[in-house]
């Protein structure tokens, strides 16, 4: 029976994934960890501890004490924040992954690590972006994700560690906000629509990116870890997507619920350049073939659900 440790549990993904894992495997089986305190709901619903995921000894002790057999390693610095301090992004993203993989090798744990469409760069085919293609990202975040995919593959082939992961697109959710990424606009637009009826977007109106509603992202993370290993060819870097969205598309869907909603644009050149370096549409056929990936939310269903929850306050 799975005993799980989650790093970065208080982040945008972790705040959804931990409750889902606890619901599926049992509250006491899922140890939530983060560099800082998490919400009282998460800390009271099951085991929690403050943990610096870059500290290999501390990670090893936490895994041993919890008798974890699976680690969902979510702790990372995202693309936009990473460009403000690239050396810190490299240190946090790579030292934490190295620590988790070393502990997994020593204690026989399986490891889930999220990669990202951020592994692709200007030289990658944009539409569709194949599962196997050139990856020369122009952000430190993307560089750490490419290196992370390769490190996870290495620990699998060299040491037999059961490493798996998916390349997430932009993730949209309510609750814990995203941690400073280039796709944060796709979350902010819903909050500002409900709060103010208008949103000033930091990327241009036709900026198209792959996106996914968080319930689908949680199913993808659990789904790839529950997959039959004999079917897996790609293991650590499955493209997964649900929809391709632009700010204009999202504004039009929001107006079906909030008729007077206004979107304006004040482009941030740094985040626009990052978004422009990423795909327009990734091909997720490998995930569909190897572990039956299938998204459940499209723009219409996601928007209705987001606005319902945000209006509940």
Give the whole-angstrom CA distance, residue 67 versus residue 31.
10
Catalytic residue among 25, 141, 154, 190: 141
Q: From the CB of 180, what's the least distance to ligand VAH, in Å?
A: 8
CB nearer ligand VAH, residue 46 or residue 118: 118
C-beta of 68 vs 117, nearer to ligand VAH: 117
State the minimum distance, in angstroms, from the CB of residue 104 to ligand VAH.
23
Q: Smallest distance, Å, CB 103 to ligand VAH?
A: 24
- Shortest Å distance, C-beta 277 to ligand VAH: 11
> 62 vs 172, which CB is nearer to ligand VAH?
172
CB closer to ligand VAH out of 69 and 210: 210
141 is catalytic: yes
Which residues, 6+ apart, have CB-to-CB distance to 252 below 8 Å? Answer: none
List contacts with ligand VAH (CB under 6 A). 78-79, 116-118, 141, 169-171, 178, 181-183
Nearer to ligand VAH, 168 or 291 (CB): 168
Q: How far is the CB of 76 from ligand VAH (least distance, A)?
A: 9
- Active site positions, annotated: 141
């Amino acid at each position: 029976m799975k005993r799980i440790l989650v790093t970065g549990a208080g982040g945008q993904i972790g705040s959804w994934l931990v409750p889902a894992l606890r619901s599926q495997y049992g509250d006491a089986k899922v140890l939530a960890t983060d560099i800082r305190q998490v919400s009282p709901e998460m800390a009271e619903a099951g085991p929690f501890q403050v943990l610096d995921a870059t500290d290999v000894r501390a990670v090893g002790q936490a895994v041993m004490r919890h008798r974890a057999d699976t680690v969902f390693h979510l702790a990372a610095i995202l693309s936009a924040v990473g460009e403000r301090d690239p050396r810190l992004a490299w240190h946090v993203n790579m030292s934490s992954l190295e620590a988790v993989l070393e502990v997994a090798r020593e204690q026989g744990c399986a490891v889930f690590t999220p990669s990202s469409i951020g592994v692709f760069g200007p030289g990658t085919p944009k539409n569709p972006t194949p599962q196997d293609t050139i990856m020369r990202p122009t952000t430190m975040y993307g560089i750490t994700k490419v290196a992370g995919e390769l490190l996870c593959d290495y620990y699998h082939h060299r040491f037999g560690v059961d490493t798996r992961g998916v390349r997430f697109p932009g993730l949209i959710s309510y609750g814990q906000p995203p941690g400073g990424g280039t796709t944060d606009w796709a979350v902010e637009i819903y909050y500002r629509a409900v709060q103010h009826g208008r949103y000033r977007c930091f990327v241009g109106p036709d900026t198209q990116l792959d996106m996914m509603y968080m319930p689908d992202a949680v199913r993808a993370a659990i789904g790839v870890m529950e997959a039959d290993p004999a079917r897996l060819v790609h293991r650590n870097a499955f493209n997964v997507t649900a929809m391709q969205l632009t700010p204009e598309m999202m504004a039009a869907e929001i107006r079906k619920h909030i008729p007077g909603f206004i979107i304006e644009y004040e482009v941030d050149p740094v985040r626009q350049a990052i978004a422009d370096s990423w795909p327009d549409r990734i091909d997720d056929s490998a995930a569909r073939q190897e572990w039956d990936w299938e998204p459940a939310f499209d723009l219409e269903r996601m928007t209705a659900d987001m606005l319902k929850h945000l209006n509940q306050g």
